[in-house]
Amino acid sequence: MPKTKSYVDPAGVHVIAPNFKQRLSGVTSTIIQLVPVQNRLGQKVAVLGPGLPPHLPYLRFRDLWKLWRAPDGSKNRVWHARRNLEMLPGIVLRDILRMPLKLVFTSASQRKHSGWTKLLIRQMDAVIATSAKTAGYLEVPSTVVMHGIDCDIFRPADDKPEAKRACGLDPTLSYIGCFGRIRHQKGTDLFIDAMIEFLPSHPGWAAIVAGRATAKHIDFENGLKAKVKAAGLADRVLFVGEHKNIADWYRALDLFIAPQRWEGFGLTPLEAMATGVPVVATDVGAFSELIVEGETGAVIPANDLPKMLSATSTLLEDPDAIHRWGDIAQRHVTRRFALEGEATSLGALYGKVAASSA
């Protein structure tokens, strides 16, 4: 039986996290992971909108009129938008309906913003960039708060062979993974080309592609599967689809490749490293700010198959480096990118903005 949503009294809500997009996305995933941690830290966050699980604290649309009254113990509420369609309603509530709101926007984009987006951003009381690269595309002052991950969920395997068995894999093989949406932008074809090159000369290794192709990209996925079959590697390059227990699949890996051609931020390298798996990643998104070159992984140019082959080959020929880098990677993520760190940084910014009278 489906769980019912838990609705909260707006008087006790200090931060609103609107989510006005039904389809699951990286933004949605961020909200789902962050809000429980933020509330454990006392930040009093509620969500607003569709597409989120019922265990989160919800604000009803019909209770929005109550936002004319300031929240208990604070001069203002914070409206934390992460998309254009969430910035605009916040502006209406604050500037037209004169509600005591402070507007915060998180930008993860690494491209020039449209004129409309720039206009919306200029109306914000504070802007967050998810990486230093992202901050470079903004024309207003920003605070860098990098994403974190749940290190209790993404943790190393206690028993690597057993972790492989749990996913229905051969425990005697080593596995290279590429996880995420299957499409050209994500570089899945580069990963497949690299595996077709590597695997025939590395009989102890196999590859896993985890994730789904949307309807628009089904032909792309089918083309990759046909390519693998033609190379005689259908039993060693596994397309396993989308899984809710993705952390279990990370624990089965020995090496992770993030071959993206473009990315906003990109959590997959963090998820892999948190499970003790070193990463070869392209220099897109925040990857170069997440990976310690030569210690937790390697960063290569985007869309450069020869460099991907070279970096991966170096690791495949040195099993000791794979284990050493994996251990360092897990400690690195736990120390610098735990979800609690992101939530704490956001809480400090919320407090500063909410107290401001400007």
Digit-coded pLDDT (tens) for 92-141 = 999 999 999 999 999 988 888 999 999 999 999 999 999 999 999 999 99
- Regarding whether 89 and 216 lie in a shared domain, the answer is no
User: Is residue 153 assigned to a domain?
Assistant: no
**Total number of domains in the chain:** 2
**Cross-strand pairs, 6:** 57
The per-residue pLDDT for 1 is 47
Q: What is the pTM of this model?
A: 0.89
In this structure, the answer to whether residues 215 and 74 fall within a common structural domain is no
Q: Do residues 11 and 141 share a domain?
A: yes
What is the structure's pLDDT at 2? 55
Question: Average pLDDT, stretch 334-344?
Answer: 96
Residue 358's pLDDT band (boundaries 50, 70, 90)? low
Whether residues 184 and 202 fall in one domain = yes
Summary count for the chain: helices (H), strands (E): 13, 14
CA 245 to chain centre: 15
Do 164 and 215 belong together in one domain?
yes
Note whether 268 and 246 are same-domain residues: yes
Residue 306 clears pLDDT 90, i.e. is over it: yes
Convert 129-146 to b/e letters by CB count within 10 Å (16 or more is b). Answer: bbbebbbeebeeebbebb
Asked if the structure places residue 155 within a domain, the reply is no
Residue 94 maps to which CATH number? 3.40.50.2000
Residues ≥6 apart with Cβ < 8 Å to 253: 175, 176, 177, 208, 272, 275, 277
User: Quick one: pLDDT band at residue 24, thresholds 50, 70, 90?
Assistant: low
Q: Is residue 66 part of a domain?
A: yes
> Is residue 203 included in any domain, yes or no?
yes
3-state secondary structure of 178: strand
Tens of pLDDT, residues 276-287: 999 999 999 899
Pair 139, 280 in one domain:
no
Query: Is 1 inside any structural domain?
Result: no
For residues 184 and 299, state if they share a domain: yes
198: confidence class by pLDDT, cuts 50, 70, 90: very high
Q: What is the pLDDT of residues 55-71, one digit of tens each?
A: 999 999 999 999 999 99
Q: Provide CB contacts within 8 A for 70, sequence distance 6+.
A: 76, 77, 100
Q: Clarify whether residues 123 and 221 are in a common domain.
A: no
What tokens were used for 154?
A: 């993404």
Say if 215 falls within a structural domain.
yes
250: containing domain = 160-336
What number is the average pLDDT over the span 200-211? 96
Task: Give the pLDDT of residue 38.
Answer: 97
Residue 213 and residue 202 share a domain: yes
* Whether 107 and 193 share a structural domain: no
> In this structure, is residue 154 part of a structural domain?
no
Task: Provide the 8-state DSSP code for 312.
Answer: H
Given a cut of 60, whether residue 154 has pLDDT beyond it is yes
Confidence of residue 206 (pLDDT cuts 50, 70, 90): very high
Examine residue 260 and state whether it is found in any structural domain, yes or no: yes
> Quick one: 171 and 310 in the same domain?
yes
Task: Please provide the average confidence, as pLDDT, over all residues in the chain.
Answer: 94
